[in-house]
Amino acid sequence: MTVDLEPKQAEYDVHRVTEPETRYLDQIHALAGTMVREGAALGWVEPPSRSEVGELLADLIQGADSDDACLVVAERLDVAAPEIVGFAYWSRRDGETEQPHADISRVAVSSHARGGGLGRRLVEHLIDHARKVGVEILTLDCRGNNHAAMHVYRRLGFTEYGRIPDFVAIDNERWDNVYFSLDLRGPEEHSDLVRHGDSPRGAGASRIQQ
């Protein structure tokens, strides 16, 4: 008698990385290279070198100590050794007047692991940690043809606040760059703010001369 067994569902764990490990560097470097060769919109035209990825991870892990960065990975567990199939990260803005805010620079999921909500889980983890460490506004941008990603961002509460046509350039091809933001402040934080908006007051203010 033959018994039909349903295929085993892949098992994933999404977690923050705070300590340097060679396997993180090796696997993220390999994943980024594969995705770029497949045409993924990760901001690299050519696969990044191992040293480039190493510098990026070192900066993110160092930034995690002071709550200035957050690196999250998705690992497949139902294999002989845990395998990284996705990663994402945010970093605080550099400018002193923008320090309360952070930018999600990359969200990457292997083509073999898409369709199961891993991208959403990675971004949710980033949002949760950003809220925990007091980030006020999370921003991100993506290529205008990445409609699946934009759908996820909107479902998580991000709002499109602008786009620049023909901004993303690869050889002679151009795509829009679309910008999103998510306000993480609670009611109490909003009530304490002194909002000036675009009124011509405070440092750097100017008026149009009549």
Average pLDDT rounded to a whole number, residues 176-202: 86
Q: 2 pLDDT exceeds 50? A: no
Which range among 75-89, 122-136, 180-194 has the greatest average pLDDT?
Answer: 122-136
Tokens, residue 182: 């998510």
pLDDT in tens, 89-127: 999 999 888 899 999 999 999 998 888 899 999 999 999
Q: Which of 159, 151, 142, 154 has its CA nearest to residue 115? A: 151
For position 194, what pLDDT does the model report? 83
The whole-model pTM stands at 0.89
pLDDT in tens, 27-62: 999 999 999 999 998 989 999 999 999 999 999 999
Domains of the chain (ranges, CATH numbers): 12-191 (3.40.630.30)
Q: Which of 173, 174, 176, 178 has its CA nearest to residue 165? A: 176
* Burial environment of residue 15 by CB neighbours within 10 A (0 to 12, 13 to 18, 19 or more): exposed
For position 5, what pLDDT does the model report? 46
Q: Which of 46, 30, 38, 35 has its CA nearest to residue 170? A: 46
